[in-house]
Structure 1
C-alpha cells in the first residue's frame, strides 16, 4: 500500500520573516526561498537601506529555518553591496554536490533601471556566490558578467525567484534584458557552477520570469508580460534554452503585470503524477488576491486555483518542503512585510489530491 506523504494542516500558517524598518533597512523586497538538500529553508530578499525604490543602496539578506519555516534564525547579510545595489536573488541548489548558488545582479550607486540607458554596457553586472554549509556562510562573490551578458546590454536582471537543476545536472537561472524590447533568456552551468553561459532570447515585451523543466525534457519559461493582455506569457525550448518558441499568452494566469512564482512540484517518474505550481496576484488591475494554482498536464491547463492571501500580495516565491508540504514567501502590507506561508496539497485541493511515492 502506498503511503501518503503530505502533512495535513487545516489552514495555511503565516509567519513574518522580514519587516521593513528593522535591522537598519528601510524596506525589504523581492522574496526568494529555496529548500536545500538537507531540508534547510533559505529565505532571501533585498535589504534596501534608504528607501523602497529599486536600485537604491541594497544588500542581499538571508534568514534560515531549520524546522520547515516554523521558526527563523537571525538575519544575516549574504552579499554586502551598499552603496551599490545587490538585486534579484535567484538561488539554485546543486543536488549532486549539495552546494547552494546565489545568482544576482549588481547595479551601480545612484542609478535606476529607467535611467541606466546610455551609462554604458557595464552599468549592471552579474554575480554569483555559493554556500557549502546550507547558507551558514558564503563565498566571496564572483563576477560572471563576461559570459552571461552581451556587451551592449545595459539593463539586465535575474529571475527573480529560484533557479533549477535539470535531470541532466545543468544549473539554470532565468533572466531578462532591457536593451532590445525586454526579452527573457536563461543562463546555465554544466560544471556545477564553476562557469556560466547564456542561452538565446525570447520574443519581446516580457521580463521577470521563472523556468521549469517539463517531463519530456523541454524548458518552459513563465514570464511577466507587457504585451497588453494582462496575463502571463509562455515560451518553451527543445534545445536547452538556445532557442525559444513563439510566445503564447495564458489567459488563465491573469496578472496586473507583476512577478510570479512557477515551480516543479512532482514528477510522475518519482511520484504518482506530474504536478506544476504557479502563484501570483490573480487580478488584472491590482496586486491582490494571492492565488496558488496546480497543473496536472505540464502547464497546459490549471485544474486547481485557491486563494492563499485575499488582500495585498505582490512578489512571491514557492518552495517544496522535505515532507512535500509547500511554502510561499510573499510581500504584503504595502511592501512593509515579507511573510512565509506553509500549507499542504490537502488544503490546496480541498482533500482531493495526495502524493504517493512510487
Structure 2
C-alpha cells in the first residue's frame, strides 16, 4: 500500500508536546527513542534519566506510552522508570527498541556501563566496561522481563578488540524477511602495545546486531570499513522486491556517513560521505526511517497541474526520511530531509526545519494508517538539554522544501 501524503501544509513548525523536561534539581533527560505500535495505536517514548547532563551521570531508562486517538491527538501516560533494565553497579544508557511482529514481542536493547567509567577512559585504556543488555515485553511495554546480559553470547571473544561499544541510540528495525536489526557501533582496537591501545588508532565503526529467529538468539555483523559512530538503519525495497539495508552514521568530518548492505546487515559495502547531510564539528546522532513511496504526490509542473499529481520514485518502493540538526557550527535547527532515490548517493532534498534553535538527539517513527511521521527530540530555547519533545507531521509538510538530486551510489 502506498503512502498518501497530506494535501495541505504550512511553513509553520509542528506543535510540540514536552514529554521529559529538565528539573530544577539538575535531573536531565537525554537520548530519546521512539516506537509506534500499529496494532495498538500506541507510541512508546524512551529516554535516559540523568542526575546531570553528563554521560557519566546517566542513571536509568524512563518511558511514557501514548495512545493515538481518532482525532489525531495523543494521550500520554505519566513517566515510569524501567526498574528491570539495569545491572547492579552499572548505569543504563542508549535505549534501542524494536518490535518483533511474529511473536508480538517488544525488545528494548541498551548498554550498561560499570560505575562512572567514561567512554574516553575505555578508549584510552582499551579496557571495555560496557555490557550489551535487553529486556522484553509481551504486552506493549506495560510490563518488562528481567534483564538479559547478552555480552558473552553475542559478542564473545570479539570484545577483546573493542575498547567500548553502544547500540543506537534510537529504534531498531524488523526486515521483511523477519530479521531483527539493532544498529550498533564499537571502538575498534587494531593494535596494542603492552596491552594498551596505540594512541590515535582507536576509532568507532558501525555494525549491526541481528537475529534470524525472532529474537531468541543474536549475532554481530561485520564493521563498516570507515569511521562511523552512532547509527540507525532502514530497509529499502527496490522495484524488483529486493531488500537493501541502509546505514546512516554519525561522523566527525562535517558530513554524515552512509553505507548499504545487500545481505541484511551481515556486512556493508564501501561507505561514502553524504554531502547534503551536514554534521556540527563534533557530530550528533540522527535518525532515519523508511516508508512506502507514494504513487502520486502534489506537483507544480505545468504539465501535471490539470490532475495535480505526478508519478515519482522510479527506483524503489521505499523512500527515506532523516532528521538531524542542520547547522554546520553547532547543534541547532532540527531539520527533516527526504530521499526519493535512496539507492543513489546525493539523493537528499534540502531540509525542512521543524525546530529553530538548540536541537540534539532525535528518533523518528512512521504511522502507516495515517500516513504520518512522529519524532522525539532534544530541544530548547537556550539549550537542547532543556526538554525532550514529541511532534507529528506529514510527508507533504516535508516536501514544501527541497530540490531533487540524483547521482549514482558507488
CA shift for structure 1 position 278? 0.3
**Residue matched to 1:162:** 171
The TM-score with structure 2 as length reference comes to 0.78
1:285 maps onto 2:329 in alignment: yes
**Residue matched to 2:79:** 75
Assess, with a 3 A threshold, how the Cα gap between structure 1 residues 267 and 144 changes in structure 2: closer, same or farther.
Answer: farther
Assess, with a 3 A threshold, how the Cα gap between structure 1 residues 144 and 134 changes in structure 2: closer, same or farther.
Answer: same
- The 4+ residue runs of structure 1 with deviation greater than 6 A are none
1:114 maps onto 2:120 in alignment: yes
1:40 maps onto 2:48 in alignment: no
Aligned equivalents of 2:3, 2:120: Cα separation in 1: 53
Assess, with a 3 A threshold, how the Cα gap between structure 1 residues 299 and 3 changes in structure 2: closer, same or farther.
Answer: closer
1:313 maps onto 2:359 in alignment: yes
- The RMSD of aligned alpha carbons is 2.5
**Residue matched to 1:132:** 138
**Structure 2 residues not aligned, in runs of 5+:** 190-202, 298-311, 403-410
**Residue matched to 1:324:** 371
Q: Deviations over 1:299-336 (max 9, x none)?
A: 53023521111111110111112412111100012202
Aligned residues: 346
Aligned equivalents of 2:354, 2:219: Cα separation in 1: 37
CA shift for structure 1 position 296? 1.1
**Structure 1 residues not aligned, in runs of 5+:** 353-358
Aligned equivalents of 1:290, 1:131: Cα separation in 2: 32
1:21 maps onto 2:14 in alignment: no
1:213 maps onto 2:260 in alignment: no
Deviates more, 1:257-266 or 1:82-91: 82-91
> Residues 57 and 85 of structure 1 are in contact (CA less than 8 Å); yes or no, is this contact kept in structure 2?
yes
Aligned mate of 1:89, from 63, 85, 95: 95
> Residues 57 and 83 of structure 1 are in contact (CA less than 8 Å); yes or no, is this contact kept in structure 2?
no
> Residues 56 and 109 of structure 1 are in contact (CA less than 8 Å); yes or no, is this contact kept in structure 2?
no
1:255 maps onto 2:252 in alignment: no
Aligned equivalents of 2:387, 2:276: Cα separation in 1: 28
1:179 maps onto 2:188 in alignment: yes
> Residues 336 and 352 of structure 2 are in contact (CA less than 8 Å); yes or no, is this contact kept in structure 1?
yes
Assess, with a 3 A threshold, how the Cα gap between structure 1 residues 3 and 113 changes in structure 2: closer, same or farther.
Answer: closer
Q: Deviations over 1:47-71 (max 9, x none)?
A: 11x2111132410110000126633
**Residue matched to 1:356:** none
